[in-house]
Amino acid sequence: MKRPSGRKRPGASRLTRRGFGMLIAALACAVVAYRSGVSSLLYATGFLAVLPLGALLLVRMRRRRFEVARSFNPPVVSAGSPVAVDLSVRNLSAASSGPASWSDRTPWEPISVSSPTLPALAGTAPGLSKGPAGVLLRYIVRPPARGVFPVGPLEIAYGDPFGLAAGRGALGTVQQLSVVPAIVPLGEGGPSLLAGDGNAQLIQRRSSGNDDDLMTREYRSGDAMRRVHWRASARHGELMVRQEEQRTFPEARVLIDTRAAGYGEAWADLGGIETGEGAFEWSIRMLASVAEHLHGAGFLVQILETGDPHIAPLGDPSQGSGQDAEFLLSLATLRLTQTPLPASGGIHGDEKAEGVPGPIFAVLSEPEPATLRWISAQRRPHELGVAFVVGHRSATTFDTLAAHGWICVPVRESDDPALAWASISRFTAPAVVVK
C-alpha cells in the first residue's frame, strides 16, 4: 500500500514535477521568442503552459464520490496479534473513476496489503462505463500495544493521464479499533490453590430441620409435579418440592496499583531502558493473565484498584465469555490516575481488607506509603497473598509486604508473565494450601 507522502490537506490538488517542468519550459520559450523574434515559439509556449494548467483544472474539478465500509477481523484484537482491515469501496459518481493509490490512516505501518492501487471503478450512469463499481481492499496490521486507536479515513492520491497534476481525497469516516492486553497462559506451574480445584463447588443453602427440609420448599404455582417431594409433603401437610441446588464458587481477588505516583521515581536509575509506563503496561498484562487464569479455573474473581475503579468485573464463571470481553475492553482504556489520596477515611484511611475472602494477587511497582499500607492490609490472616513487584529498587515495599505475610516476586517489565507465575514457588513452599 503506497502511502501518500506527508499530511497534505484532503482534497488538495497540485502540479507534479512534470507539470512544473512544462511551465518552466513554457516560460523559457516565451523568453527566447521575445529576444529572438521567432513568433512560432509562442505556439510552443501556449501549448506547454495550457497543458499542465488544464490538467490541474481537470484534477481539481473532477470530484470523486465513494462509499467506504470498514470492518476489522477480529473485531477486538490482542496487542501483538495481527488484525485484518477490510475496506469495501464503491463508486457513487455517474462517471467512472480512474486508478489511484490508496492508504488507510492508521497509527502503524501495514505488514501486508492485498493490492497497492485502487483500480478504476465503473460509474452509476448506465451504458457509460463497464466493469465493477466496487472493490474489496484488505491490509493487515499488528498493533504493538493496548488501547483504543482511530483508523481512517481512507486517503487516495490520483492524477491526470499525463501525470502533470495530482490530487488527494479523504473518504469514509474514522473508526475505533480496540486493542486489549495480550493474555499469557499461565499453565500449571503456579501455586497449588486447593480451595479452587478448577470446578465449581456445589453447596446447598442450609437452615434448620432434617435432610428433607434442607432439600425442599413449599410448592409454588408453575412448579413441575415431578419435583414434588412426597415424604416431606406428608410430614408438612402441604405440597413440598425439591429446591434447586445453588452453586457457589471459590473466590479470589486480583489487585493492581493504578496510581501514577507508584510508577515514577523507582525507574530513575534505569537509564531510560525501562520506564514507569512500561511497568504499568506489564502490570496490566499480568493482571489480565492472572484474572483470566483464575476465572477459567472456576474462581469468582474480584478486581481491586488503588485508584478510581474503572475495570469491569469478570462475574460468575458460569455466565460464559461475554463478561471476559467486557473485562478486557475495560483494560484497553485503563490509564494511571492522578487523583489525590483522601485525607482520612476511604480505602487509604481505614486500611482494612476489602472484598471476599480468598487468595489475593497484587501487581505493583513502588506505591507511595499510604497506598502501600492499604495494599498490605488486603491480605487477611491465613490467606495466600502474592505480590508481583515490577522493577523495584528499594527494599521498603518488600519489607512492608513481607511483614504482612505477602509472598513477593520481583520482576522486570521484560519478563514473561508465565515465568513470573511459575517462579512463585521459588519464594515460598512448593505447595500453598488455601484454607
Tens of pLDDT, residues 87-97: 999 998 888 88
What average pLDDT does range 107-113 have in this prediction? Answer: 94
Predicted pLDDT at 81: 95
Predicted pLDDT at 209: 41
Predicted pLDDT at 222: 63
Is the sign of the CA dihedral 276, 282, 396, 308 positive or negative? positive
Predicted pLDDT at 430: 40
Is the CB of residue 85 less than 8 Å from the CB of residue 140?
Answer: yes
Angle between helices 369-377 and 396-403 (to 10 degrees): 30
Predicted pLDDT at 152: 92
Q: Which three cell numbers stand for residue 35?
A: 529576444
Residue with the bigger pLDDT between 178 and 349: it is 178
Does residue 352 register a pLDDT over 50?
yes
Predicted pLDDT at 194: 44
Is the CB of residue 358 less than 8 Å from the CB of residue 434?
Answer: yes
